[in-house]
Amino acid sequence: MVRTSTQRPASTTTSQPLSGIRVVDLTRIYSGPYCTFLMALAGAEVIKVETPEGEHLRHRNARGGAGLPFAMLNANKRLVTVDYKQPEGRALLMRLIATADVLVENFRPGVMNALGLDRDSVRAVNPRLIYASTSGFGEEGPYRDLAAMDLTIQALSGAIATTGFPDGTPVKTGPAFGDFSAGIHLYAAIVTALLHRERTGEALSPEISMLESMYTSLCSNLGAAMSGKEQRPSRTGNRHGGLSMCPYNVYPTTDGQIAIICSNDRHWDKLTAALGRPDLGEDLRLKTMEGRVAHMDFVDSQIAGETAKQGKDALFALLSKSGVPCGPVRDLPEVMADPQLRHTGMLKEVNHPEYGSLVLPHTPLRYRGEPRADYVPSGRLGADNETIWTSLGVDAEEFARLREAGII
Amino acid sequence: MVRTSTQRPASTTTSQPLSGIRVVDLTRIYSGPYCTFLMALAGAEVIKVETPEGEHLRHRNARGGAGLPFAMLNANKRLVTVDYKQPEGRALLMRLIATADVLVENFRPGVMNALGLDRDSVRAVNPRLIYASTSGFGEEGPYRDLAAMDLTIQALSGAIATTGFPDGTPVKTGPAFGDFSAGIHLYAAIVTALLHRERTGEALSPEISMLESMYTSLCSNLGAAMSGKEQRPSRTGNRHGGLSMCPYNVYPTTDGQIAIICSNDRHWDKLTAALGRPDLGEDLRLKTMEGRVAHMDFVDSQIAGETAKQGKDALFALLSKSGVPCGPVRDLPEVMADPQLRHTGMLKEVNHPEYGSLVLPHTPLRYRGEPRADYVPSGRLGADNETIWTSLGVDAEEFARLREAGII
């Protein structure tokens, strides 16, 4: 059972691997906030800095009604406001940065310079600071100044060209793969830099390009495209990207679909037995992967004919028991109710102070036998202003004046 | 310019953040090998251990002809063989593990136990070892024993249900998102554990579930599904997952497609001006995001009518110059030739000793101003057997005997 705390995040959590690390977080929307969410759930003290209007995502959710994305990505963070476009606000932010181990930002290249928050200015007040950035393309190269968002990076990276059916329109991936790939790579680079600083004293500046972070995930497709044997389709629907395995597809059921793979001949034997089709298992043309691949349309149609007779969950149970790799195509309410994700504590129902009852995720970065960190739901804009700014020496009078002036 | 070394990886690379870290790598195919690829390119000494038959991926590629996926994922690694299913091979592997900082494996839960390589046995010879695992679902819970592959995890995670067109069949993501998400999360957890060991002396055991690693990337879709206003489609094609932005789509051109997003009203003004459609920019119904969303079909058809007159690269240049977020839908040969990826050194042409001329990626984990590590192409099975086994005290006679007996 995962404990859920009603307290705002404490500045010290002694039992997690990043405890004692202070992070100033200027990021917005998805890529940067996912990175700092993982840091916060690993015990870092993440101070999310918003301008007094609040992050755009708060308002987008207010329109949509759910608040779910903001709540998902901003748990366990301290929340402060400061208008760092004004000189006094920038000075206050600098005082905070002077106390930090890590600064994280995901503005377009050049914006931090325009704000007077470029790496040199910031490291002048804090030479040990790890200054971490992510953007569409990184800080150099012909595309550096282009605006980038998940969809445009999916287009440029080849993700769209390789998704969809061969005779259909290419389509983006449903998950925001570009944003989240950048976010987890940024976490990886920051922690690598923290380790390097611990070992050598030197503070590196991690810099993640969304475009670069997606490339290697296309290795099956790139291999097929380069195999040179024949013209390969750039999209293979739900079939194997290299069209070199069969069965490998998504098949119809009475109430949806199920994904089934036979990556070797034993799986094929088990599948045909479980579906009550020994005739297929005994068919000499289909005994080997090569044979099944050569008769892919026939195999797929025969398997589909059998799966179409049953429900997806019954098939999942039947084929799993038989040792055939498979998985029902789950819609989102089913995913949120998944017994595995509930069992491990990855998902839990939280009574969120602003948004009511929500299903919220913990971190996938787990260590065997170690308890999950206490979960602290995201809070209202500026929830930790008093705690944080006071700790930097801002007294009550000054605090009132800054609030009055719209600086915090 | 990235230097490419013709030497096998050296045991010490002084200038990279993970230099001096030794990794024993038992992983296969994609998730684990991507993790250890990133470690190797960050300077760790990664020793990839294969049984004498060689990793399955070597043979799959031999069939496909390209060898590209194996080459992509196994650069900068030392390559040894040992049949650790035999007692003598297992003992030899244990001697290697005794010298390591990290062990990485991606077998199904239970396999390492069956091999006598479970965590307790291994840490008995090396208490400081970080024992790292990834699998479909992790080491506990109702699904722990199920076989898992990228496609089945995409089905169970909701990635398939959310990808594709509303009136069409759900479809997997072209990139192997499940495998690579697990791989980069595993890297992140291992480096977090290395940092924790450096700070406290304690060795954690990272454990990544593919299913858990994908969940949060669906936050837009989950937010829309939970917004409660109306029944939302689980798939929105190339439109925004929450259907709350317009234009946000992939549009036809004379030679393919282009992705275009207007995330605010300024983008809309720039887009309509650049396309020579001031009438759209002046249309009062379309002045606000709310208005454009309400007339989404009309807006999309008008923009498509204009983009269909030009080539995708000319549109990319025109709209980028105007400050409109966009990106052409690139096919894989175009991605491999991308000027940005070439400029930053992420991609380069390598004359591979086994596979000939290939375009191969470096790591996306970058640090501003720091040079990329020398790139060492993947090698033949057992290329570093002599160096590694000799360093553990296996003499020439013993080496010959082990080879003769099929142990290495």
The predicted model gives A120-126 an average pLDDT of: 97
ipTM above 0.90, yes or no: yes
Task: Give the chain B residue whose CA is nearest to the CA of A210.
Answer: B364
What order do you get walking across the sheet with A206-209 strand by strand? A78-81, A45-50, A22-25, A102-105, A130-135, A206-209, B366-367
List CB contacts (< 8 A) between A196 and chain B. 17
pLDDT at position A244 is 84
**The B256-261 sheet, strands edge to edge:** B248-253, B256-261, B326-328
Q: Is the pLDDT of residue A1 over 50?
A: no
Q: Is the confidence at residue A65, as pLDDT, over 60?
A: no
- Would strands A206-209 and B366-367 be described as parallel, antiparallel, or unpaired? antiparallel
> How many whole angstroms separate alpha carbon B150 and alpha carbon B139?
18
- pLDDT score of B243: 85
Mind telling me how many Å the CA of A380 is from chain B's nearest CA? 18
> Quick check: A152 and B61 CB within 8 A?
no
- What pLDDT, in 10s, does the model give residues A79-88? 999 999 999 9
Residues of B with CB below 8 A from A339's CB? 141-143
Residue to substitute from B226, B270, B359, interface A, most A β-carbons within 10 A:
B226
Q: Which residues pair with A104 in a beta bridge?
A: A25, A132
Beta-strand ranges (E) seen in A26-70 are 45-50
Give the Cα separation of A233 and A242 in Å (integer). 9
pLDDT band at A225; cut points 50, 70, 90? confident
DSSP state of B331: -
Structure token digits, residue A408: 């915090």
Question: Do A6 and A349 meet the contact criterion of CB atoms below 8 Å apart?
Answer: no
Chain B residues inside the 8 Å CB shell of A141? 339-340, 343-344
Cα distance between residue B307 and residue B311, in whole Å: 8
Q: Can you give the pLDDT at residue B56?
A: 86
Looking at chain B, how many residues does it have? 408
Which member of B25, B101, B179, B269 is catalytic?
Answer: B179
Interface-testing mutation among A131, A217, A250, with chain B (most B C-beta atoms within 10 A): A217
Q: How many CA atoms lie within 13 A of A18 on its CB side?
A: 33
Mutate: best of A162, A187, A216, A312, partner B, most B CBs <10 A: A216
Determine which one of A179, A269, A300, A374 is catalytic. A179
**Positions of chain B with pLDDT lower than 50, given as ranges:** 1-3, 11-13
**pLDDT of B306-343, one tens digit each?**
999 999 999 999 999 999 999 999 999 999 999 999 99
Query: What gap in Å lies between CA A103 and CA A119, rounded to an integer?
Result: 10
**What domains does chain B contain, in order, with CATH numbers?**
22-216+345-404 (3.40.50.10540), 248-335 (3.30.1540.10)
Does B340 contact A191 at a Cβ distance shorter than 8 Å?
no
Question: What is the separation, in whole angstroms, between the first and last Cα of chain A?
Answer: 38
At residue B67, the pLDDT reads: 87
Nearest Cβ partner of B147 from A179, A207, A325? A325
B129, B194, B215: best to mutate for the A interface, most A CBs within 10 A: B215
Residue A11: per-residue pLDDT: 45
Q: The tokens of A30 are what?
A: 């998805």
**Looking at the predicted structure, is the pLDDT value of residue A103 above 80?**
yes
Contact A346 B38 (CB under 8 A): no
Question: Is the Cβ pair A64, B216 closer than 8 Å?
Answer: no
Output Rg (C-alpha) for chain A, integer angstroms: 25
Nearest residue of chain A to residue B187 (CA atoms):
A188
The pLDDT-based confidence of A182 (bands split at 50, 70, 90) is very high
How many CB atoms sit inside 10 A of residue B175's CB? 28
Put simply, the answer to whether A173 touches B177 (Cβ < 8 Å) is yes
Nearest CA in chain B to A240: B151
Higher pLDDT pick, A234 / A232: A234
Cβ-based contacts of A40 with chain B (< 8 Å): none
- Give the DSSP letter string of A359-391: EEE--S-EETTPPPPPB-----TTTTHHHHHHH
Q: Which residue of B has its CA nearest to A67?
A: B223
| Nearest chain A alpha carbon to B218 | A175
Report the residue from A142, A334, A368 with minimal CB separation from B339.
A142
Task: Report chain B residues whose CB lies below 8 A from the CB of A235.
Answer: 174
Strands A347-352 and A356-361: antiparallel
Averaged pLDDT for residues A197-224: 96
Structure tokens at B47: 């020793």
Token pair belonging to B310 = 């030009």
Is the Cβ–Cβ distance between A219 and B347 less than 8 Å? no
Interchain CB distance below 8 Å, B207 and A367: yes
Q: Do A215 and B347 touch (CB under 8 A)?
A: yes
pLDDT value at residue B312: 98
Interchain pair A329, B184: CB under 8 A: no
pLDDT digit string (tens) for B148-199? Answer: 999 999 999 999 999 999 999 999 999 999 999 999 999 999 999 999 999 9
Residue B246's pLDDT is 96
Which tokens hold the place of A175? Answer: 């998950």
Does the pLDDT value for residue A351 go beyond 70? yes
CB contact (8 A) between residue A219 and residue B327 = no
CB pairs under 8 A between A and B: 487
Does the beta-carbon distance from B257 to A172 stay under 8 Å?
A: no
Q: Do A219 and B72 touch (CB under 8 A)?
A: yes
Whether B73 sits inside 8 A of A244 (CB atoms) is no
Minimal CA separation from A86 to chain B, in Å? 23
Yes or no, beta carbons of B160 and A259 under 8 Å apart: yes
Report the length, in residues, of chain A: 408
Chain A residues with CB-CB distance to B364 below 8 A: 185, 208-209, 212-213, 215-216
DSSP B79-146: EEE--TTSHHHHHHHHHHHTT-SEEEE-PPTTHHHHTT--HHHHHHH-TT-EEEEEESS-SSSTTTTS
pTM: 0.97
Cβ <8 Å between A172 and B161: no
Q: Residue B258, exposed/middle/buried by CB under 10 A (0-12, 13-18, 19+)?
A: buried
Contact B216 A37 (CB under 8 A): yes
pLDDT above 50: residue A389 = yes
Residue of A nearest to B357 (CA): A226
Cβ neighbours of B185 in A, within 8 Å: 184, 364-365
Q: Which residues of chain A lie closer than 8 angstroms to B323, CB-CB?
A: 147
Q: Is the dihedral of CA A370, A374, A378, A381 positive or negative?
A: negative
Q: Which residues of A touch B223 (CB under 8 A)?
A: 61, 64, 66-69
Which chain B residue shows the shortest CA-CA distance from A212?
A: B364
Known catalytic membership, residue B179: yes
- What are the C-alpha distances in Å from A358 to residues A68, A336, A378, B227? 7, 10, 12, 11
Q: Residue with structure tokens 């002396």?
A: B201
Alpha-carbon dihedral sign for residues A210, A212, A218, A221: positive
- pLDDT attached to residue B65: 53
Residues in chain B within 8 Å Cβ distance of A329: 155, 160-161, 170
Put simply, the answer to whether B191 touches A193 (Cβ < 8 Å) is no
Q: Which residues of B are less than 8 Å from A140 in CB distance?
A: 343-344
A223-239 per-residue burial string, b: 16 or more CB within 10 A, e: under 16: bbbbbeeeebebbbbbb
Taking CA atoms, what residue in B is nearest to A70?
B219
Chain A residue with minimal CA distance to B34? A216
